[in-house]
Amino acid sequence: MLFPAGDILIVDDDPPTLEMMERMFHKAKYRVRTASSGMQALKACQYRTPELILMDISMPGMDGFQTCAKLQATAKYSKIPVIFVSSLLDTQDKIKAFEVGGRDYVTKPFVGVEVMARVESQIHLARLQSDLEPGTSTWATRTRGCWRSIRSRPTSRPC
């Protein structure tokens, strides 16, 4: 089965929230995996790196802040966009979410359409960034084509 929308990991210790978000993203053709703790999320990333992580902050054991910080400290996972989904409303909590590497923050209760739009936006941005990184096949193909085009022209015009 193809998952054209993306591969996401949802991390939350509340089973009803996990189930609801999982259904919502499956309907939108995402490959969805779930974890109920920070440690499970780290293990899930080792198994298969997701394109995006939706993560609660308040969880027993390793909270969302600690989990995100661990991901950011690991080169292989540092570019995974993390969107925090939390009932914490304090501005300092929101600031801390960005300081530890979160890309966005959604408060609970949330509106599904809003979360979907934020996920789509972050995955799109991550894919564009990946396409432009040196060493990727997309970047190499575009660069080679650009140089061939420049060399074949009598004057140097941009690609």
| Residue type, position 144, single letter | R
Domain ranges of the chain: 6-133
Assigned token pair, 26 = 């499956």
Q: Tens digit of pLDDT per residue, the chain (159 long)?
A: 455 678 999 999 999 999 999 999 999 999 999 999 999 999 999 999 999 999 999 999 999 999 999 999 999 999 999 999 999 999 999 999 999 999 999 999 999 999 999 999 999 999 898 888 776 655 555 555 555 555 555 555 555
- Is residue 100 a contact partner of residue 77, using CB atoms and an 8 Å limit? no
How far lies 142's CA from each of 2, 133, 135, in Å? Answer: 26, 11, 11
Assigned token pair, 73 = 């400290």
Domain 6-133 in CATH 3.40.50.620: no
**% of the chain exceeding 90 in pLDDT:** 73
Shortest CA distance to 98 belongs to which of 110, 116, 86, 114?
86
The answer to whether the pTM exceeds 0.85 is: no
Q: What is the pLDDT of residues 95-139, one digit of tens each?
A: 999 999 999 999 999 999 999 999 999 999 998 988 887 766 555
